[in-house]
Amino acid sequence: MSFYAYSIFNLTKSVNAIPNLRYAHIDNQLVEWQELVPTFTHFNQETELFYSLWLEGLTDYKSVDREYKKLIKEYANTTDIAPMGDVPPNVVNISSIPWMHFEHFSSQAAANKNNLTPMITSGKYEKVGSKLLMPVNIKVHHATVDGYHVTLFFETLQREMNR
């Protein structure tokens, strides 16, 4: 079982639990997606390049893990940043920096034209006592998300990761 797939599953589940994180600004209209799908980065250690993939319509961890491993194998030798083609409009951007533990991370890159798209970055997890601690940063747009919603996200994520 892949810990990265497990975290992608739980990060996505937690984002989808908070309506304010599912808003989009499309054609000057505020839209609420029924569901966001994860677009996530994968790092090719041989080429030292990363690429973005996504998973749709998966409801349980085992299917996410299976599909994640299938996609990684299928696109293992790609040099394209988006080998699956156009990214769906209803995404949450997920990336990982598994080489370092951090206290803050900021990324200003926009993966699509919807500036309300959440961007989540996780870091290296560390064992402290009996707990695994993993830094998680979420970038949101204050027009639709406040500190209250970010708190709900982190509470939901903690609950899901503890299962």
Active site residues: 142
Residue among 76, 134, 79 nearest 105 (CA) = 134
Question: Strand, helix or coil at 114?
Answer: coil
Q: Which residues of 83-110 are buried (b: 16+ CB within 10 A; e: fewer)?
A: ebeebeebbbbbbbbeeeeeeebeeeee
Residue among 102, 92, 110, 117 nearest 36 (CA) = 92
**Using an 8 Å Cβ cutoff, are 11 and 136 in contact?**
yes
